[in-house]
Amino acid sequence: MEQKFIQSLYDAHQRAPRMPEPALVCNWLEGLLGVLFPEFSNHRYRSHREFTQHFGDLQLELFRILQSLDDRHGVVPEHVEHQFMERLPFVRDLLLQDADAILAGDPAAVSLTEVIRTYPGFYAIAVYRLAHEFQQLQIPLIPRILTEHAHSKTGIDIHPAARIGPGFCIDHGTGVVIGETCDIGHQVKIYQGVTLGALSVRKDLARTKRHPTIEDRAIIYAGATILGGDTVIGHDTIIGGNVWITKSVPPHCRIYYTGYIRQQEAAGKE
């Protein structure tokens, strides 16, 4: 019987589709981040040529990863690589705006170097923005491998298909969930434990807008949950912590949590 089990496992392995090795993908990601931001890199380049060659290595590695995708997906590695590289300057500009927003929004932050090097919020946004480019190019699996890597490191789970405007700021970040069809405006700021989710998870709703829209300059405090594809948080609105919202909120509102009971105890008892 054990033999039968091993046989069935072996058969499963024989049937399994080819896919890019996550360790390679994540390694490439870290290399790319180190090139885009010296704060992520421990290497000091001694010449422009060394840098250019290194950049070429990263491009080739991307090409190889794209080649390792199962043929069924119809990906043309040359095209995808080219289109991705074309987008990099734009992505980097976006990320610098994100870093500025984080630095401006956190009194504890002392420098851009510290924000880029150590803030998990910045890391998660950086990975999302790169993954989002692959998602736009309809590459399978890789976007998800990237964002789940960031999720594992930071506790921040951003679906690569979400749309997020410039100057996005996530503080602390653990427990943040941003769903597939979210639409987030400019200079939005969210805190740890915020969920931007769906009201229903009926499978036939795939590809429809199931997650909320957050307009420019909205702020959403820790632990708030905002659900539904028709839910719009208006621009300049502030959602308080731990609030649960399933309906739209107009611009320039403040939503406060309420509802607890205080009870004084006799001192010292347990």
Residue with tokens 């964002």: 147
- Residue 171: phi, psi to the nearest 5? -105, 135
Cβ neighbours around 166 below 10 Å, total: 16
Instruction: Please tell me whether residue 183 binds a copy of itself under the rule CB under 8 A.
Output: no
Instruction: Please tell me whether residue 30 binds a copy of itself under the rule CB under 8 A.
Output: no
Please identify, using beta-carbon distances, which residue of 85 and 165 lies nearer to a copy of itself. 85
Q: Which of residues 87-126 bind a copy of itself (CB under 8 A)?
A: 88-89, 92, 104-108, 110, 113-114, 117-120
Instruction: Please tell me whether residue 230 binds a copy of itself under the rule CB under 8 A.
Output: no
Quick note: the x/- pattern for a copy of itself over 142-171, rule CB under 8 A, is --xx--x--xxxxxxx-x-x---------x
Instruction: Please tell me whether residue 71 binds a copy of itself under the rule CB under 8 A.
Output: no
Of 201, 209, 254, 207, nearest in space to 229 by CA: 209
Distances from the Cα of 184 to the Cα of 154, 156, 211, 230, 256, angstroms:
20, 16, 10, 13, 21
Instruction: Please tell me whether residue 209 binds a copy of itself under the rule CB under 8 A.
Output: no
Binding a copy of itself by CB under 8 A: which of 134, 172, 215, 220? 172
Instruction: Please tell me whether residue 76 binds a copy of itself under the rule CB under 8 A.
Output: no
Instruction: Please tell me whether residue 203 binds a copy of itself under the rule CB under 8 A.
Output: yes
3 state SS of 163: strand
Write down the least CB distance from residue 21 to a copy of itself, Å. 4
Binding a copy of itself by CB under 8 A: which of 57, 73, 138, 230? 57
Write down the least CB distance from residue 127 to a copy of itself, Å. 13
Under a CB-based contact definition with an 8 Å cutoff, are residues 154 and 123 in contact? yes
Instruction: Please tell me whether residue 129 binds a copy of itself under the rule CB under 8 A.
Output: no
Instruction: Please tell me whether residue 228 binds a copy of itself under the rule CB under 8 A.
Output: no
Residue with tokens 């036939």: 204
Per DSSP, the residues of 75-140 read: --HHHHHHHHHHHHHHHHHHHHHHHHHHHHH-TT---HHHHHHH-HHHHHHHHHHHHHHHHHTT--
